[in-house]
Amino acid sequence: MALKVPYLADAKLESAATELLRKYAKWKGTPPRPPIPIDDIVEGLLGLSLSIGDLRARLGKDDVLGATWLEDGHVMIDSSLEGNEGRFCFTLAHETGHWVLHRPLIEMEKVTVPLFSREPSAKATPAIICRDGQRDPAEIQADKFAALLLMPASDVRAAARLVQGDPLAVDDLVARKKAGELIPELRALASEVIERGNFSNVSNQAMQIRLETLKLVVDASAPQGRLF
Amino acid sequence: MKERLGERIRRKRAELKLGLRETAAKVGISPTYLSRIETMDEKTPPAEDVIRKLATLLNDNFDELMQLAGRVPEDVEKVIKSDPTMPAFLRTAKQHKLSGDDLMKLLAEKQKGKK
């Protein structure tokens, strides 16, 4: 059962992520710089308990990556992500998105979530279960929130400026992506931005998407990309 | 209810504001393993050297952590194994309901008497 949530504009998601970073800066006494310390935001600032374990076996779902038990204030990440820093941190930031964006809705009883138990003997409590490739609105919102949190626009723009002045124009970007083609020039730019901006807990794929969202990569074949 | 080993480690980590993955890296174990210790999913108690590193990092009492883990420190085991009168001594202390603290006090008084 998917969590049904109201529509949230991108600007709202951005302001929620910025607000969380601002709270973290106040709590820590210094503004966070990339790599954004997502573990400390979750365990330190938000006071959630974090565990890493075999979620797939526990919940009987073979594509589950993370889960959040709202009543317990507990986040669990599947152990298959251990050692994959980019995916681990993105999943943790995604669960943070559910906590920040969707927990208040659940508390106001505007939406309901399925019941799951972490321990076989424990009482079942509402949990948000996040699976690979889920595309319902709540999951998309949490994904966007994760990207905004781990890759703040100002930091990505500053790093991209160090790499190249103008946005990267890629021929047939949209069509090539639609065809599932890998785009080496986009991959190379993402890699350089990650390195120059110290985004060491972000995957190349996540940075590629963020660069496109921020229009730091444009389709040279699209009308707005053409000079004449 | 008595605090369990995993609960104790998690509480001490929180007090010191140490993250799960940060703690695991400092102790030299995998985050999944530390998480299993904390959630008591790990049925085999951690090795003595892991408990020692955790005790040092978390500013905690090594012997108390070992006791919570249900382990006897290697040096203590050697003392018991090397002296055949030790088991009888420990049994007697137990019969007289003497705790470790009581025995330490007796020793301290004996030391004073010598001086």
pLDDT digit string (tens) for B51-109? 999 999 999 999 999 999 999 999 999 999 999 999 899 999 999 999 988 889 988 98
Q: What's the pLDDT at A201?
A: 98
Q: What is the pLDDT of residue A30?
A: 95
User: What percentage of chain A carries pLDDT values higher than 70?
Assistant: 89
What is the pLDDT at residue A135?
Answer: 80
pLDDT band at A4 (very low <50, low <70, confident <90, very high): confident
Lowest-confidence region among A7-21, A58-72, A194-208, B34-48: A58-72
More confident residue, B2 or A133: B2
Could you say which of B17, B20, B41 has the minimum Cβ distance to residue A50? B20
Q: What is the reported pLDDT for A225?
A: 46
- Token representation of residue A86: 């980019």
Q: Which residue did the predictor score with more confidence, B75 or A131?
A: B75
Model confidence at A115: pLDDT above 90: no
Chain B residues in contact with A79 by the CB 8 A cut-off are 32
A117: pLDDT strictly greater than 70 = no
pLDDT confidence of residue A112: 64
ipTM of the complex: 0.85
pLDDT value for A14: 96
For A217, list phi and psi in degrees, rounded to 5: -135, 130
Q: Do B39 and A51 touch (CB under 8 A)?
A: yes
List CB contacts (< 8 A) between A50 and chain B.
Answer: 19-20, 35
Q: Which residues of A touch B36 (CB under 8 A)?
A: 53
- Is the pLDDT at A1 greater than 60? The verdict is no
Residues 6+ apart with CB under 8 A from A85: A200, A201
Cα–Cα dist B51/B72, whole Å: 11
Measured CA to CA, the distance from residue A219 to residue A228 in angstroms comes to 14
Closest CA of chain A from B82, distance in Å: 41
pLDDT of residue A2: 67
Quick check: A23 pLDDT over 80?
Answer: yes
pLDDT digits (tens, 9 = 90+) for A31-53: 999 999 999 999 999 999 999 99
Q: How far is Cα A82 from Cα B101, in angstroms, rounded to an integer?
A: 43
CA distance A166 to chain B (A): 38
Is residue A68 a contact partner of residue A127, using CB atoms and an 8 Å limit? yes
* Closest C-alpha among B52, B10, B61 to residue B28: B52
